[in-house]
């Protein structure tokens, strides 16, 4: 055994993460470009200050107040309402979904998604010793429902991971796809990862509405994207209370710090402001799709706050060229494609100017 005695399948693997570079225009990790207002900052600071007076004590392990606030936020998306015991939260939805795999995956079990899909999913599977199966999406990145249903039936996964909108493609799933796959999964869980849910187009309902119909449905959300609080590290899910109870077995005690709970509660009180730019970002996204198509590029339909475009024979050269112009985007997705997050109008102008220059330099 060599030192340090890392598990053989982890040896030599690079830790996941986009490059964190100090460049003027950062459009690489699908953040909301708008920071909180001074009033919101002051409220969060006051809440954290209040929490600090009790830092000698462990926090509320069941984060009851936060669960209640998140349940009330989620209840907007469904006529059926969401109860606090249907809510679970952790440090980012990445941790929520890893906990799901820890509780419901494991040796002899399978987790399944449809590629291209969020690149952390196979890592949750690897880290929880769960077998990983990736089905395929169509060339427009939609799912062929018959093929998807057959794969779920034949693989019998204990967890199906369905991002909607999908990362890196931006593709949203129609509600019937969620229902069909929930039925095909039997007692296996179907996790609809709505990290970008608030950016979906008008008329596309959240899977939260379907919770009463499918006891195996889990809807995952995050405060990192539309909610403009990526630095907070707060993700959450809505599901049958029995699913939340099972996660409690694998979570580390007091995993949500008193500071996180206080800051998240304060941020939720400023929901209107923090989500206030979503419409603008959606409009900016739609304009970006049109502009990229006008440049003769292929562009995936997007319900998220990012756009996948291409295809380039040498995408790395384009990524590098943009970086040289001070614009950081993401080299991800199928070969030849690049992903750009939707930023402020000024950032979008900088991106368009840089891409025009880079394409010109390469012509
Ligand atoms: N799901 C998807 C589809 C994502 O793209 C991301 C972030 N890139 C996450 C989950 C995790 O986000 P967080 O841990 O910040 O909630």
* All structural domains of the chain with their residue ranges: 8-30+277-362, 38-273
Which of 195, 197, 229, 333 best tests ligand 1's pocket when mutated (most atoms within 8 Å of CB)?
195
Residue nearest to atom 2 of ligand 1 (CA): 195
Q: Closest residue (by CA) to atom 4 of ligand 1?
A: 195
For residues 97-116, give the mean pLDDT.
98
pLDDT of residue 363: 65
* C-alpha to C-alpha distance for 80 and 211, rounded to whole angstroms: 9
- The model carries a pTM of 0.97
Fold of 38-273: 3.40.640
Domain 8-30+277-362, what architecture?
Alpha-Beta Complex (3.90)
Smallest CA separation from ligand 1 atom 3, residue: 167
**pLDDT cut 90: percent of the chain above it:** 96
224 close to ligand 1 (CB < 6 Angstrom)? yes
The three-point CA angle 309-231-323 to 5° equals: 35
Q: Quote the CA–CA distance of 317 and 257 in Å, as a whole number.
A: 42
Q: Is the ipTM of this complex over 0.95?
A: yes
Burial code of 199-227, b = ≥16 C-beta within 10 A, e = fewer? bbeeeeebbbebbeebebbbbbbbbbbbb
193 lines ligand 1 (CB under 6 A): yes
For residue 362, pLDDT over 80 is answered with no
pLDDT digits (tens, 9 = 90+) for 15-74: 998 889 999 999 999 999 999 999 999 999 999 999 999 999 999 999 999 999 999 999
Half-sphere exposure of 124 (CA within 13 A, CB side): 26
DSSP notation for 325-349: TTEE-B--SSTT-EEEE---HHHHH
């Amino acid at each position: 055994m060599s030192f340090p005695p890392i598990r053989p399948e982890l040896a030599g693997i690079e830790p996941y993460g986009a490059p964190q570079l100090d460049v003027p225009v950062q459009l690489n990790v699908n953040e909301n470009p708008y920071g909180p207002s001074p009033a919101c900052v002051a409220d969060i600071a006051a809440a954290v200050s209040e929490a600090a007076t009790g830092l000698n004590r462990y926090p509320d392990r069941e984060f009851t107040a936060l669960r209640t606030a998140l349940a009330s936020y989620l209840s907007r998306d469904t006529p059926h309402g969401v109860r606090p015991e249907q809510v679970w939260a952790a440090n980012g939805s990445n941790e929520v979904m890893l906990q799901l795999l820890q509780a419901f995956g494991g040796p002899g079990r399978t987790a399944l998604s449809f590629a291209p899909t969020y690149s952390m999913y196979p890592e949750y599977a690897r880290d929880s010793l769960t077998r990983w199966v990736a089905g395929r999406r169509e060339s427009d990145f939609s799912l062929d429902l018959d093929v998807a249903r057959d794969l779920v039936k034949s693989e019998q996964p204990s967890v199906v991971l369905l991002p909607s909108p999908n990362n890196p493609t931006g593709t949203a799933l129609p509600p019937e796809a969620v229902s069909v796959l929930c039925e095909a999964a039997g007692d296996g869980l179907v996790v609809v990862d709505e990290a970008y849910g608030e950016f979906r187009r008008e008329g596309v309902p959240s899977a939260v509405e379907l919770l009463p119909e499918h006891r195996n449905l889990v809807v995952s959300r995050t405060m990192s994207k539309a909610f403009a609080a990526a630095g907070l590290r707060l993700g959450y899910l809505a599901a049958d209370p029995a699913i939340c109870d099972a996660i409690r077995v694998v979570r580390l005690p007091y995993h949500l710090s008193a500071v996180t709970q206080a800051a998240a509660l304060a941020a939720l009180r400023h929901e209107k402001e923090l989500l206030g730019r979503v419409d603008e970002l959606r409009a900016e996204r739609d304009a970006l799709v049109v502009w990229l198509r006008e440049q003769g590029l292929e562009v995936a339909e997007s319900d998220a706050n990012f756009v996948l475009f291409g295809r380039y024979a040498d995408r790395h050269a384009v990524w590098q060229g943009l970086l040289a112009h001070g614009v950081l985007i993401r080299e991800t997705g199928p070969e030849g494609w690049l992903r750009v997050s939707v930023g402020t109008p000024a950032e979008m102008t900088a991106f368009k100017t840089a891409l025009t220059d880079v394409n010109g330099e390469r012509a």
